[in-house]
Amino acid sequence: MKWSGWLFDNLGLKLFALLLAVLLYLHVLTDRTSEETVEFPLLLGGLVDTLSLATTPPESVSVRLRGTGKQILRLRYLRPPVLIGLGDVGPGTYQRTLGPADVPLEGTTGVTVLSVLAPEVLALDIEPRGERRVRIVAALDGDPQRGFTVGELVVYPPTVNLTGPARWLALQESLLTQPVAVAGRRESLRVMSGIAGLPSFVRASPGSVVVAVPIEPEETRTIQVPIEVRGVRGELRADPQPAFGTVTWRGPRSRADGLDADTFRASVDAGGRGRGEWKLRLEWGGTGLREATASPESVKIVRH
């Protein structure tokens, strides 16, 4: 007798018998009583509109159950939520011990709650609800291709409306977007980005913004800036040495043509000093210093 004939004769009947055997095994296996830990989603509801959560609640409740494998498997699949009503809760810290009665077993027979493992006690901070418009700042991930740089970022809308606990909102001056990837790019891009770092108890409207990222060729400019000496009075004269500071600016080509000596300021304060030589720290200013390096840090002042 050939083995191939033995294996493949009446193949359909043999596969059907194998399937029946597997189903019978699973039936026996899942009909046993066992103890297992099941995660139930936690759902909070009923909090009045004038109040807000001020802490992030747990996502689920871990419960130890005893029952047949079928029933526990059914609960894992359906995942009924643990419902906690907050309709009668006021501002402050709300605490509630979770017990077997909170576990949603309706429609399930032969299952017993042995214990609620975590959290055993639900603790929530409740505060008055507030609203505030907050500026959104674009966050970037990486650097463009060598020889290119990022121009002036545009975020639209520039602000979003936040609702949540008033005390938390009062501390927020601005929020970042999710990082926009620009690593290795040489072309501008426009993307929709969500808002980063929002806790679950805060809602933003809109929930995402458009970020326009211009990527331009990088320019380098070197500019000589005259040094101003402040605080000179009377008959005295003060000469800075050197008389000019140097700014090396690197940035997008679209901004380079607008740079000149008036874009930056360099000054020293010589007030309260008489005749002689003094080494004083140079104070730099100007709107373009973020992309620039300036030197020197100090100059010699001769008063005579």
Residue 122 shares a structural domain with residue 174: no
Residue 188: what residue type?
A: S
Residue whose C-alpha is closest to residue 238's, from 198, 267, 206, 209: 267
Q: Which segment of 114-118, 140-144, 205-209, 250-254 scores lowest on mean pLDDT?
A: 250-254
Phi, psi dihedral angles at 29 (to 5 degrees): -65, -45
> pLDDT digits over 117-168, tens only?
999 999 999 999 999 999 999 999 999 999 999 988 999 999 999 999 999 9
Is pTM beyond 0.85? Reply is no
Please say which residue of 127, 150, 178 terminates a domain.
127
Q: Which two tokens stand for residue 287?
A: 């709107």
> pLDDT digits over 179-196, tens only?
999 999 999 999 999 999
User: 105-142 as b/e, with b when 16 or more CB fall inside 10 Å?
Assistant: beebeebebeebeebeebebbbbebbebebebebbbee
Mean pLDDT of 18-35: 58
Q: What is the CATH number of the domain that holds 26?
A: 2.170.120.30
Residue 194 shares a structural domain with residue 260: no
Residue 264 shares a structural domain with residue 205: no
Instruction: Report CA-CA distances (Å) from 143 to 121, 149, 156, 180.
Output: 47, 8, 22, 11
- Residue 229 sits in which domain range? 218-303
Residue 30 shares a structural domain with residue 114: yes
Q: Based on the structure, what is the number of domains in the chain?
A: 3
Residue 145 shares a structural domain with residue 261: no
Please say which residue of 105, 127, 149 terminates a domain.
127
Residue 235 shares a structural domain with residue 205: no
